[in-house]
Amino acid sequence: MKFWLILVVLSPITYLLVNRSLKNKTTAPVWLCWLIIMLPSCIWTIWTYIFGEQQPLPLPVLLFPLIICPLLYGWLVQRGRIDKPKDAKDAVETSKNKNIAMAQPTAKTTTPRPIDSTEETALRNCFPWNVYYLQNIDYRPQAIFCRGKLKTIPEKAYHEIKNNVEKAFGDRFFLIFQESFKGKPFFALVPNPQAKAEEGEVKSDQRMGLALVLFVITLVTATVAGATINGTSSEKLLSDPSLVLPGLVYSLPLLSIIAVQKFSNYFVAAYYKVRTTLPYFIPFPFLLDSFSLGTLGAILQRKSPIPHRKALFDIAIVGSLLGLLVVIPTLIWGLSLSSVVPLDESSIFNIQAQDPRLSFLLSLLAKLALGSSLTAKMAIELHPLAVAGCVGLFITAVNLMPIGQLDGGHIVHAVFGQKMAIAIGQITRILALLLALIHPYFWIWTIVMWLIPLIDQPALNDVTELDNKRDFLGLLAIALLIVIVLPLPNAIASWLNI
C-alpha cells in the first residue's frame, strides 16, 4: 500500500514539472507525456504488489521501462514539436529560448514589426563599412538578417554595432552575432519581448516558494533513501520514523553536492546578468529499498540569452568544477568508512559489492582511501556517505558530457564553436555506442547521450573566441569526464594491485 501512496504523492509533482518543461514547446498532450514518465514507477509498483518486496526485480523488468519510456517520451515530444521557420536556426536557434520566440504579445507567431525606409536607413548606418561591410538585409518571420563581410576582429565589430543598434532602436531588438554553417559571420536582430516588462518578470522567475518546497520534499525522500541504504527496511521506518535520521549521512552530502553545482551556475549567470530560475530540486522516492536514491538532481532554467561565449563557458564550467571539489573529499571520506568484500561481477552497480574499477577516478580514490586492503578480485561495500559521493560523481559525469545543453555541451560549444560542438557530440554518441557493444557498463552512458538533443543555444555574440586560459580549462573538463567514465586499464590495475 505504501508504494501506491508514494505514487500518489509523486504524480502531481511530476505532472507540474512535465507541464512546465513542455509549455510552448510541443503540441503533444501533457497528460500523455506525464503518463509515459510515470509508467516505469507504475510497472515496478505493480510487480512489487504482485510478487512482494522480497522478490527482486528481474533485470529486463528494471531496464526495459528505463530504456523504452524515455525514447517514447522523446519521440512524442519531437513529433508534436512546434514548427519554427528554417532560418530561426541561423539566428540563435532563436526559439529554443521561448522568451526570444515571443515577438509580439498579441500575436501567436513571432513576426518583427516592419521597419520603414527611414528605419532601414538607420539600420544600415549601424554597420560602418570598415567594421562590417553590409551587403543585404533579409526580413524573416523571426529575425532581420544582416549579411556582409567582417572587416575587423569579431569582438570589436560586435560591440560597436551593438552600441549603434541600441542608439537607433533602444532595447527593441536583441543583436545576435553568429557564424553560418558555411563559416560566414552574420548579424540578426530578434525582437526583445522583455523590453517593457523585465523588472516585473524577475520576481516571477524566482518562485522561491516552489524551490523551497521541492527542496524540502527532496530532503525527505533522499533521507529516507539514505536510511534504506543504511540497512533499515521500509517496514521499520513506518513503525519508527526516528530511524530515518541516519539517512542524513547520505542525503545532506548529496544535496550539498547538487546545491554547489547548481547555485554556482546560478550566481555566475547572475554575474553576467543572465536571468534564470532558482535551482529546482527533483525528488524521486524510488520504489524498492535496494535501488533508492531519493533524487534526480536539480534543474536550472534560463530566462534570457547568454551574452557571449565567455559567459557560456564560465556558467557551465564553474558548477562542474566546484561540484567536483565537494565530490572528491566526500568520496574519500565515505570510502574510508566502507569495507572490502569479495567481488560480485554479476552486477554493474551494487552498493553491497561495488567494483571500483568501472571508473578510473573512483579506482584511484578507493585505493587512496582503503590502501592495501583493496586488492584484486575485491569490491567495496559502500558506506551511505560513499554512495552519496558516487551519485555525485555520476551527476558530475552526466553534466560534463559534451552534448547539447548539458554543461559539457556548453563547454565544447564555447571552446570550439557551435558547428564543431555538434560534430563532437555526434562522435561522442557513436563512441559510447561502440563501447556499449563491448562492455554493458557503457549502456547507461549511451542511453543518456542519445536522449539529449545535439544542438545547443548560441550566445548573442557567438563568434568571438575564448582566451587560452579558458581553452585549457575546457580541455581539462573533457579529461575529467574521461577519467570518470572510462574503466581502469588492466596495466594500471596490476600496478596498483587492485
pLDDT tens digits, residue range 157-172?
999 999 999 898 888 8
Average pLDDT over all residues of the chain: 78
Taking CA atoms, 246 is separated from 107, 139, 289, 383, in Å, by 55, 63, 15, 12
How far apart are the C-alpha atoms of 122 and 189, rounded to whole Å? 13
Looking up cell 581502469 gives 488
How far apart are the C-alpha atoms of 375 and 415, rounded to whole Å? 40
pLDDT greater than 80 at residue 93: no
**Range of 88-97, 113-122, 262-271, 374-383 with top mean pLDDT:** 262-271
pLDDT tens digits, residue range 69-78?
777 777 777 7
What's the grid cell of residue 330?
A: 566526500
Per 3-state DSSP, the chain is made up of helix, strand and coil in percentages (nearest 5) of 60, 10, 30
Lowest mean pLDDT among 19-28, 259-268, 331-340, 395-404: 19-28
The pLDDT assigned to 196 comes to 52
Looking up cell 535501488 gives 291
Looking up cell 551587403 gives 135
Helix (H) or strand (E) holding 339: strand 339-342
pLDDT (average), residues 296-324: 89
Q: Are 381 and 334 in contact (CB under 8 A)?
A: no
Q: Which CATH class is domain 88-196?
A: alpha beta
The pLDDT assigned to 312 comes to 92
How far apart are the C-alpha atoms of 266 and 261, rounded to whole Å? 9
pLDDT (average), residues 368-387: 87
pLDDT greater than 50 at residue 145: yes
Q: Are 460 and 305 in contact (CB under 8 A)?
A: yes
Helix (H) or strand (E) holding 281: strand 280-284
Q: Are 169 and 192 in contact (CB under 8 A)?
A: no
Q: Are 102 and 110 in contact (CB under 8 A)?
A: yes
pLDDT tens digits, residue range 433-465?
777 776 666 666 677 677 677 777 788 888 888
Beta strands in 5-155 (DSSP E): 132-139, 144-150
Q: Are 440 and 348 in contact (CB under 8 A)?
A: yes
Give how far the C-alpha of residue 305 lies from the chain's centroid of Cα atoms, to the nearest Å: 17
The pLDDT assigned to 116 comes to 74
Q: Are 415 and 479 in contact (CB under 8 A)?
A: no
Q: Are 448 and 296 in contact (CB under 8 A)?
A: no
pLDDT tens digits, residue range 245-256?
888 899 899 999
Taking CA atoms, 109 is separated from 95, 296, 363, in Å, by 11, 35, 54
pLDDT greater than 70 at residue 53: no
pLDDT tens digits, residue range 10-51?
677 667 667 766 666 677 788 887 788 778 777 777 777 777
pLDDT tens digits, residue range 266-309?
999 999 989 888 898 888 765 444 456 778 788 888 888 899 99
Angle at 39 between CA 221 and CA 74, to 5 degrees: 105
Taking CA atoms, 449 is separated from 105, 136, 399, 408, in Å, by 36, 40, 11, 11
Lowest mean pLDDT among 195-209, 319-333, 339-353: 195-209
